[in-house]
Structure 1
Amino acid sequence: MSDAFDALFAPQSVALVGASDDASRIGGRPLRYLREGGFKGRVLPVNPKRETVQGLQAYAAIADLPEVPDTAILALPASATLKAVEDCAARGVKSAMIFSAGFAETGAEGEALQARLTATAREAGMRLLGPNCLGVFNPALGYYGTFSVILDTALIAPGPVGIVSQSGAYGAHIAHLARNRGLGISQWITTGNEADIDVAEALSHMVRQPDTRVVMAYAEGVRDRDLFIDALETARQLHKPIVFMKTGRSAVGAAAAASHTAALAGSDGVFDAVLRQYGVHRAATTAEQIDVAYAAASGRFPAGDKVGIFTMSGGFGIQLADDAEAAGLDVSPMPEAAQKELLALLPYAAPRNPVDATAQAVSDLDVLKACVRPMMAQGGYDVFTAILGTGPGSKTYADPLRKALMEALAGHEDRIRALTMSAPVEAVRRYEADGFLVYEDGSALAHALGALAKFRRAFERPASAPAPMAPLALPQGPLSEAGAKALLRQAGLRFADEELAATSDAAVAAADRLGYPVVAKICSPDIAHKTEIGGVAVNLKDAQAVRAATEAILARANAKAPDARIEGVLIAPMVQGGVETIVGVTRDPVLGPVVMFGLGGIFVEVLKDVTFRAAPFDVPEAHRMIREIRGFPLLEGARGAEPADIDALARLLSDLSRFAAAHRDGVIGIDLNPVRVLPKGQGVIALDALIELEAS
């Protein structure tokens, strides 16, 4: 076994430490599941109190085993776990999973015990899964290293769905729901407290498995930012969808996550945006996660966004059309010629899209075929959907209906085909065998189809390839606005021409050179928020106004911030026009340096209309970022206004992201506010800059 995950998922031999003869106990379930699953490897029960366990020879200690197992399952209380890890390390075991809770999630004492587990394993080169986890399973090999009760009634069939979950209970629940939906599982892993192997590493492994077509993931937080992002990008390049459940949206949820697995949740808005950045679908509910994974499990995606809807009920058709459009799909009407052809044949039909054959199609299935055939041949639809109601469950109608539908769709096997229907599971499975996605709820169907289209768009785009930026020598201590701008100019950012003046005479001279009107701002590394001390004066139209404003600003600074280091007053031209935006960098505790973008003023202050990206990213990704905000139409030129220079804005965002990535350890945050996006072809200008540096 050259790889830790080979040892975890495909061991040739496994030791079960704490093995129980009682198949209902934590130490007994894995042995029972391994035997029922037909696992071909050697199973070595360890129990000092028994000679046999469930019919297999037992051993008193790990040291007594006749061979070194590839992996060990530790089904022991927390108090006995450290000794077992030490014994495994001494014997040269490659990996071990720990079921027991009672470690970092319980407080300082448990955290210290967990740290000792990790140190012991690392010193020996042994990998740990858990503690506080439900283990792994690999149905194709009959390998079930878990005590989950979902296997009590039936084992899991092999299939295309990989599951990675920090929470054992959640991972088990979605495996159970996937099984009920007819989905098999390639591999399943729960990481628990993540003393060693974390969700990022598990995800990186899972997306690379040949038998995995789609991954369902659950996380409360992420420890290894770089590996996590690499796993997301690897999945995107391999065209493997990830359907992610990330909890901790609220402050209460984030606190609960921290107490559950000692994981830091980070900013939910940042996490959400980064998932979008890498083409990951974030599910809002468990039902949605299953619905989207089910749709993606075939590995097929629509060639485009156009969806055709066939219905025998106008109301249901309209509802599905609404839901499809809300999901980002294109419910284009049938071509005019095709509509006329249908009306000539069926004067009572509604031929637009949805194509409503009315209840006449129930009694005459030739009507159904007459509607569906031109939809497929002339409609240009990438996805075909039909609303069948309870028909597929009818004893007299089910078979003729299915036969007619298949005849109508013949020759168009390349299209995604999906149904809403309510029928017994056997009927559903027959339609699935014919290549249909089957949903009972139309809204769930539309949402899942929209997710498939988004996956396709994410898979089609090339990898983001920002040019690396050579790190700059960061100055010591806090920076004034002038110092921040000088540093960012080296990164390619553009600012207005401005001059630093120590006296009112120098300020007037600067204003004369720059041209009126001007702005005057206090410049100090110790005054971050200039307006709070009255340190800004705008629209100064002549020398007298500049002189008075400069003297007043310096006087207020000395009075309100007597200990501040004053570099002088910045004199800058009054930049007007364009669209006001805000750009910034923050260092998320989970996802590291991220760039924020939004429109300024009320849009950011009240509406919170902002989006994020993990740094670094290239210009095309910056364009996608800009288009995510609700206020984007203002940049396009709403109500007759000139379009803004979106290309220049995208270059600014990308350059700032490269700077943030190159200085991730030294820069805590950057605030460019406001940034004026001038009319197309005139560029962008950041009017103010603030940088917070790590203390030296």
Structure 2
Amino acid sequence: MTFDAPRFIRDVFQPESFAIIGASDDPTRIGGRPLAYTRERFAGPIYPVNPTRETVQGLPAYASLADIPGPVDFVLIAVPAARVEHAVRDCAAKGVRCCLIFSSGFAEVGDMAAQARLLDIARPAGLRILGPNCLGLFDAAHGFFPTFTATLDRGLPDGGHVGVVCQSGAYGSHIAYLNRLRGMGVGRMLTTGNESDISVAEGIHALAHDEATGCILAYAEGVRDGPAFREALEAARQNRKPVAIMKVGRSEIGAAAAASHTASLAGEDAVFDAILRQHGAFRARTTDDLIDIAVATRPRIYPTGRRLGIVTISGGAGVLMADAAADHGMAVPPMPQAAQDALRAALPFATPVNPVDVTAQVFNDLPLIRTNMDLMLGQGGYDSIVAFFTSLAGSPSLSGPLRDALAGSLQDHPEALIALSIIAPPAVVADYESAGFIVFEDPSRAVAALAALSDFGAAFARPPLTADVPAAADRLPPGALSEHAAKAVLSAAGLPVLPEALAPDATAAVAAAEGMGYPVVLKVVSAQITHKTEIGGVALNLGDAEAVAMAADGILSRARAAHPDADIDGLLVAPMAPAGVEMILGIQRDPVFGPVVMCGLGGIFAEVLRDVTFRAAPFDLAEAQRMIGELKGQAVLDGVRGRPGGDRAALAQALVALSRFAAAHAEDLETCDINPFVLHDSGGVALDAVILGAG
């Protein structure tokens, strides 16, 4: 079903009428705070439901939802768990579009049945449920604040470019409030609690279509619906809405705690990372990461390149920022020679290469700052610039003139992205930010933020992901396929394999070897024997008939001794492939995101360094190339220390073919391993393969 973002925003964020079941006259209680907050600005009718009172916080109270005259769009339920089911029935009968359940005592404590009953009531009536065990939401522009977060006691938010979507209510209000303290306006916050119905994915998807939202900060302990989550991220990417998401549960202990807290399913953390990269989202590791993305995205400028210009009044700080740039994959190319000469003529005391050290002397003649910036922006070819001015930029006598000088450069170059590393009072920082600059105290964090903006820019520039899934020719049988059968299946799917023959015995193996030419390889063929080398089931570089016959008898004898119950199909005879760069390719069926393709360096790289990367299937050639580029040891594909490299194009084509095969067999494939996939300077070939069909 296509996600209806306007309807979601109307029903969840912007209802025309609002009722609270369990409304309290005390504005400090859970049932009283949302009423106190919302009545300050909400334009529509508000109906407190409390059978023990005639009025609640000065508003007429109603004994039940049914007693309210006219329609009610949104209902907040703030009653004990035992009374929630009855309240949801009342909402369904009233024709309510969305209900928010503060109450705990459902799936988070193991009572899945009670939570399921709520959905059984709501779905036939078209009623959406937010929660239970949920802190609530707000829409500042609509004046709608159905939440009990105490952070609103410090003042209601006025709106802004940040949208917050979190499973955890306490953490959602935490980052929303931190953004406000940092001067970032928060327009909408949605917390989803147990996610019996409404999910983080839907919240992201809705904000991806909201013009007022400039960036989306999210927090998840688990994702239930992988396709919906991917659709939400893709909608955000196509609408140029940066998403920064913190996914907890990376450690074994953390994953167990997350499951206990929200009863959420969770896939492999490496797979979650890959999904974010595939859709251009940012993986936040800390709360500071989330806030930094909010700060950096306010100008809504996203470079597609990674060329960084560095301006500093301290040589040491320039080196620090250059190191940070290297850590984040940003290039720090020198200024063009003509620009260096012009800068040296204007600022003879400066070091005009890159980093450009203008020294503190530039503050004696602030127009020179403008000269420097104009040269870097006009002739440097930089995608973004970071400038370190430390506390001098916050000086009462310097901050205004410096801001005006820098702002002049921005006016002449309105698409320029400039981050300032300064120390200044909040009001001065706000002045710089209102002029169009990104402001950080820590220069390393400033560089990291610019790198993230370049990542967003590159992702936004990519075309929409295609979801072309080929039809499977035949369904895979359950259980393990032999190597010979697995290679035949992969060959039909477009993966390159060597010509090979299946021989039942030594005599047939010799005949096959004579026909294809020496040297050859022999392997035992059995679906039950997956680790052939461990039992002596492989013989390499056999150069004549005698060697083949002797190896064949030995392999069969060892295989029968090690696995007496195995069904042995015979011996696989194949040409001896030349050495090359060994890769490992594979498919695994993630419980959340479905078939996922893996690529990594083979041999010791795979087993020891675990240098692998993932993508959800299917994907195109450009995505496969990005996937290869993420490998830490990708330089071996270019050849190192006299060793030949490997054909990247052939590897990318193999990954695309594997991804299409994975998507076609999403329902009947459990795992697939191709190890090794050997690359040569022209082409590649799968030398071994294992396929396990889903039973």
TM-score of the alignment, normalized to the shorter chain, above 0.5: yes
Contact map agreement 2:134 2:193 (CA 8 A) in 1: yes
Supply the AA of the counterpart residue of 1:93.
Answer: V
Question: What is the CA–CA distance in structure 2 between the aligned matches of 1:477 and 1:95, rounded to whole Å?
Answer: 44
**Superposition deviation, residue 648 in structure 1:** 1.4
CA deviation digits over 1:296-321, x for unaligned, max 9? 13321235322222222222222122
**Superposition deviation, residue 638 in structure 1:** 2.5
Give the corresponding residue for 1:689: 689
**Superposition deviation, residue 409 in structure 1:** 5.0
Contact map agreement 2:644 2:680 (CA 8 A) in 1: no
Q: Which moved more, 1:531-540 or 1:630-639?
A: 531-540
Contact map agreement 2:585 2:597 (CA 8 A) in 1: yes
Question: What is the CA–CA distance in structure 1 between the aligned matches of 2:46 and 2:410, rounded to whole Å?
Answer: 51
**Superposition deviation, residue 489 in structure 1:** 2.0
The counterpart of 1:571, out of the listed 570, 573, 581, is: 573
Contact map agreement 2:410 2:416 (CA 8 A) in 1: no
Question: What is the CA–CA distance in structure 1 between the aligned matches of 2:377 and 2:648, rounded to whole Å?
Answer: 39
**Superposition deviation, residue 185 in structure 1:** 2.2
Question: What is the CA–CA distance in structure 1 between the aligned matches of 2:581 and 2:542, rounded to whole Å?
Answer: 22
CA deviation digits over 1:492-545, x for unaligned, max 9? 122111111111100111111121121111111222222233222222222112
Task: Map residues 202-601 of structure 1 onto 2, 5 A cutoff.
Answer: 202-302=203-303, 304-407=305-408, 409-465=410-466, 467-478=468-479, 479-601=481-603
Over aligned residues, Cα RMSD in angstroms? Answer: 1.7
Percent identity, aligned pairs only?
52
Supply the AA of the counterpart residue of 1:11.
Answer: P
Give the corresponding residue for 1:85: 88
Asked if 1:66 corresponds to 2:66, the answer is no
Contact map agreement 2:39 2:46 (CA 8 A) in 1: no
- 3-state SS of the aligned residue for 1:559? helix
Question: What is the CA–CA distance in structure 1 between the aligned matches of 2:587 and 2:237, rounded to whole Å?
Answer: 25
Asked if 1:52 corresponds to 2:58, the answer is no
- 3-state SS of the aligned residue for 1:158? coil
Question: What is the CA–CA distance in structure 1 between the aligned matches of 2:370 and 2:210, rounded to whole Å?
Answer: 41
CA deviation digits over 1:580-624, x for unaligned, max 9? 000000011222110000010111111110000001101111111
Supply the AA of the counterpart residue of 1:47.
Answer: N
Supply the AA of the counterpart residue of 1:687.
Answer: L
- 3-state SS of the aligned residue for 1:620? helix
Give the corresponding residue for 2:38: 34
Question: What is the CA–CA distance in structure 2 between the aligned matches of 1:51 and 1:485, rounded to whole Å?
Answer: 77
**Superposition deviation, residue 467 in structure 1:** 4.3
Contact map agreement 1:466 1:618 (CA 8 A) in 2: no
**Superposition deviation, residue 180 in structure 1:** 1.4
Q: Which moved more, 1:478-487 or 1:444-453?
A: 478-487
Question: What is the CA–CA distance in structure 1 between the aligned matches of 2:228 and 2:347, rounded to whole Å?
Answer: 58
**Superposition deviation, residue 22 in structure 1:** 0.5
Where does the alignment leave 5 or more consecutive residues of structure 2 unmatched? Answer: none
CA deviation digits over 1:87-106, x for unaligned, max 9? 21122212111112211111
- 3-state SS of the aligned residue for 2:301? coil
- The total of aligned residue pairs comes to 690
Contact map agreement 1:309 1:385 (CA 8 A) in 2: yes
Question: What is the CA–CA distance in structure 1 between the aligned matches of 2:331 and 2:141, rounded to whole Å?
Answer: 39
- 3-state SS of the aligned residue for 1:606? helix
Question: What is the CA–CA distance in structure 2 between the aligned matches of 1:449 and 1:86, rounded to whole Å?
Answer: 50
CA deviation digits over 1:307-337, x for unaligned, max 9? 2222222222221222223222222212222
Question: What is the CA–CA distance in structure 2 between the aligned matches of 1:210 and 1:184, rounded to whole Å?
Answer: 15
**Superposition deviation, residue 557 in structure 1:** 2.2
Question: What is the CA–CA distance in structure 2 between the aligned matches of 1:427 and 1:637, rounded to whole Å?
Answer: 53
Supply the AA of the counterpart residue of 1:163.
Answer: V
Question: What is the CA–CA distance in structure 2 between the aligned matches of 1:270 and 1:603, rounded to whole Å?
Answer: 19
Supply the AA of the counterpart residue of 1:25.
Answer: R
**Superposition deviation, residue 396 in structure 1:** 2.4
Contact map agreement 1:466 1:654 (CA 8 A) in 2: no
Task: Map residues 116-135 of structure 1 onto 2, 5 A cutoff.
Answer: 116-135=117-136
Supply the AA of the counterpart residue of 2:85.
Answer: L
Contact map agreement 1:221 1:590 (CA 8 A) in 2: no
**Superposition deviation, residue 194 in structure 1:** 0.8
Contact map agreement 2:386 2:447 (CA 8 A) in 1: no
Where does the alignment leave 5 or more consecutive residues of structure 1 unmatched? Answer: none
CA deviation digits over 1:84-128, x for unaligned, max 9? 112211222121111122111112xx1111111121112322111
Supply the AA of the counterpart residue of 1:144.
Answer: F
Give the corresponding residue for 2:639: 637
Contact map agreement 2:388 2:421 (CA 8 A) in 1: yes
Question: What is the CA–CA distance in structure 1 between the aligned matches of 2:580 and 2:161, rounded to whole Å?
Answer: 51
- 3-state SS of the aligned residue for 1:195? coil
Question: What is the CA–CA distance in structure 2 between the aligned matches of 1:340 and 1:693, rounded to whole Å?
Answer: 67
Question: What is the CA–CA distance in structure 2 between the aligned matches of 1:408 and 1:13, rounded to whole Å?
Answer: 49
Question: What is the CA–CA distance in structure 2 between the aligned matches of 1:126 and 1:347, rounded to whole Å?
Answer: 71
Asked if 1:23 corresponds to 2:27, the answer is yes
**Superposition deviation, residue 408 in structure 1:** 5.1
Question: What is the CA–CA distance in structure 1 between the aligned matches of 2:126 and 2:377, rounded to whole Å?
Answer: 59
Question: What is the CA–CA distance in structure 1 between the aligned matches of 2:561 and 2:323, rounded to whole Å?
Answer: 62
Q: Which moved more, 1:50-59 or 1:401-410?
A: 401-410
Question: What is the CA–CA distance in structure 2 between the aligned matches of 1:141 and 1:373, rounded to whole Å?
Answer: 42
TM-score where L is the length of structure 1: 0.96
Q: Which moved more, 1:587-596 or 1:484-493?
A: 484-493
Question: What is the CA–CA distance in structure 1 between the aligned matches of 2:340 and 2:73, rounded to whole Å?
Answer: 66
Give the corresponding residue for 2:653: 651
TM-score where L is the length of structure 2: 0.96
Question: What is the CA–CA distance in structure 2 between the aligned matches of 1:538 and 1:125, rounded to whole Å?
Answer: 65
Contact map agreement 1:7 1:95 (CA 8 A) in 2: yes
Shift of the 334–621 alpha-carbon distance from structure 1 to 2, 3 Å rule, reads same
CA deviation digits over 1:244-300, x for unaligned, max 9? 111111111111110111112211111111111111111111101110122113321
Q: Which moved more, 1:544-553 or 1:142-151?
A: 544-553
Question: What is the CA–CA distance in structure 2 between the aligned matches of 1:409 and 1:619, rounded to whole Å?
Answer: 38
Question: What is the CA–CA distance in structure 2 between the aligned matches of 1:368 and 1:195, rounded to whole Å?
Answer: 56
Question: What is the CA–CA distance in structure 2 between the aligned matches of 1:248 and 1:10, rounded to whole Å?
Answer: 33
Question: What is the CA–CA distance in structure 2 between the aligned matches of 1:97 and 1:474, rounded to whole Å?
Answer: 44
- 3-state SS of the aligned residue for 1:381? coil
Supply the AA of the counterpart residue of 2:311.
Answer: F
Supply the AA of the counterpart residue of 1:693.
Answer: G
Supply the AA of the counterpart residue of 1:473.
Answer: D
Contact map agreement 2:499 2:575 (CA 8 A) in 1: yes
Give the corresponding residue for 1:10: 14
Contact map agreement 1:469 1:662 (CA 8 A) in 2: yes
Contact map agreement 1:44 1:57 (CA 8 A) in 2: yes
Q: Which moved more, 1:581-590 or 1:91-100?
A: 91-100
Contact map agreement 1:166 1:219 (CA 8 A) in 2: yes
- 3-state SS of the aligned residue for 2:615? strand
Supply the AA of the counterpart residue of 2:524.
Answer: I
Question: What is the CA–CA distance in structure 1 between the aligned matches of 2:451 and 2:143, rounded to whole Å?
Answer: 35
Question: What is the CA–CA distance in structure 1 between the aligned matches of 2:251 and 2:513, rounded to whole Å?
Answer: 49
The counterpart of 1:603, out of the listed 605, 612, 636, is: 605
Question: What is the CA–CA distance in structure 2 between the aligned matches of 1:209 and 1:137, rounded to whole Å?
Answer: 15
**Superposition deviation, residue 466 in structure 1:** 6.3
Question: What is the CA–CA distance in structure 1 between the aligned matches of 2:65 and 2:8, rounded to whole Å?
Answer: 19
Question: What is the CA–CA distance in structure 1 between the aligned matches of 2:596 and 2:151, rounded to whole Å?
Answer: 40
**Superposition deviation, residue 371 in structure 1:** 3.0
Shift of the 345–493 alpha-carbon distance from structure 1 to 2, 3 Å rule, reads closer
Supply the AA of the counterpart residue of 1:204.
Answer: H
Question: What is the CA–CA distance in structure 2 between the aligned matches of 1:262 and 1:389, rounded to whole Å?
Answer: 47
Question: What is the CA–CA distance in structure 1 between the aligned matches of 2:151 and 2:22, rounded to whole Å?
Answer: 21
Q: Which moved more, 1:391-400 or 1:178-187?
A: 391-400
- 3-state SS of the aligned residue for 1:386? strand
Contact map agreement 2:476 2:668 (CA 8 A) in 1: no
